[in-house]
Structure 1
Amino acid sequence: MPADPLPGRRWADHRRTMEAITWKYRTASPWRDLPDELGSFQTAHKRLFRWAVDGTWERILAAVLAEADGADDIGWTVSVDSTACRAHQHAAGAGKNRAPHEPNDHALGRSRGGLSTKIHLASDSRARPLAIHVTAGQAGDAPAFEDVIAGIRVPRNGRGRPRTQPDAVMADRAYSSRAIRKHLRRRGIRGVIPQPSDQVSHRLRRGRAGGRPPSFDGEAYKQRNAVERCISRLKQWRGLALRTDKLAIAYRSVLHLAAVLICVHP
């Protein structure tokens, strides 16, 4: 949970501050437009960034997931996908003095749609986020796959190591590569990933040297819509669908806050 405050005045009410942050990103309003009843916008902004740096937002999400797992309420057939989010002009121009854990490019890049950020995530079978990773908008899906899977770490309520291994992982054709399939086999995870037509034709063209086709469960693959529903719920937050944050660490922390509320209010 939150770290001890710095010496000085007492913390402002946590609930009101979280409501202020939620209001700002649900509406995509400027910080200075925060309603008076939600407190000072400086307090909300500083709390957001401070908890992003010390990992509080990630720990809150982990605690919520641990409670759900303790109630056997997490579907461990996991789906992986990504979505690109346009970046507002206010998101550009971050200085070189970066915050801890801040990527060099601030997870901003030029794609066909302009300046954007890409959200990579894994969701359970009930359309709730288990792991979130952000990159520049032009980044490919497959290179981020291992980082997303490595982010799945659900603590136990009692004794025991956190659970990190899904029963199965489903992904679309963008994730069909030998490296990804090998990574899943090495970890003992069943992969449900279709092959794109060019890979199929290349294997057939090689004949017996092309080897056998990878196994694919078409019936199980129908459950992959869970990650699409999860992305849709995240993008209902206008401040996430359109990024205005200069720093990736702040943007990612709000993704974790949105994930917490999705888990608490499914």
Structure 2
Amino acid sequence: MTRPTIYTTESSSLYDNLEEMSTGELLKSINQEDRKVAKAVDKVIPQIEHLVDAAVKSLQNGGRLFYIGAGTSGRLGILDASEIPPTYGASPNLVVGLIAGGDSAIRTAVEGAEDDPDQAWKDLEKHQINSKDILIGIAASGRTPYVLGGLKAALENGLVTGSISCNKNAAISQPAHFPIEVEVGPEFVTGSTRMKAGTAQKLVLNMISTSLMIKLGKVKGNKMVNMQLSNNKLVDRGTKMVMEEIPSLDYSAANSLLNKHGSVKKAIEAYQNQ
């Protein structure tokens, strides 16, 4: 008799009788589990490094970065992609996140959307995906059909592929040139992968996109010099950045220069070249 595969992300919680715990006990126990996540991510930094270097090469050669996922994984990919334009002034087409079930699935679960292995590639084709691009599939379980099918199709079409999962020997690691498996262990609530697995995926995505933008020249020193000046807080922050780089300017002059050129980087360059 064949035994069913036991996935770490779905194995039983190390805690029981949760409903009998006090609020303090619940919070401390969740925090105790969360502390394990960063350590698990630390173990796979070499794998993340290889994926980032491959992504840098793809984007320097005119490619784009795509994320695909379902449920929490898909939402995290979309979140990461959506923050690239305002934070780094990059085109919204440079990093793109797609979720099984389409945009409506960002807020509301779309039943069965993740079970179609052919849909991801159809979704990607709407963006004219090609061999210059790089695709990263995200799935805590590592076996989501939507993600697995998308990675297989990408591999067949000559794309560089990566994956982020939270189980050892995950299925999505096989069609990935650069697989990342962050083993965070059982969830506090059994199978609730929006918790530790989701946190691990968010940490890895932060590392990938931030390192990528720095490598592409979107950061100067430690500052977001290409950020979009989309509200008063960011204009104020940008003004102070200009003042730090050009100490001779007071706030009013720095603000005027910033508003004239539209970004910290352009303002500093214009001043230095005058």
For normalisation by structure 1, the TM-score amounts to 0.27
Larger-gyration structure (1/2): 2
Structure holding more helix per residue: 2
> Higher relative contact order by CA 8 Å / sep ≥ 6: 1 or 2?
1
Q: Structure 1 or 2: larger strand share?
A: 1
| TM-score (normalizing by structure 2) | 0.27
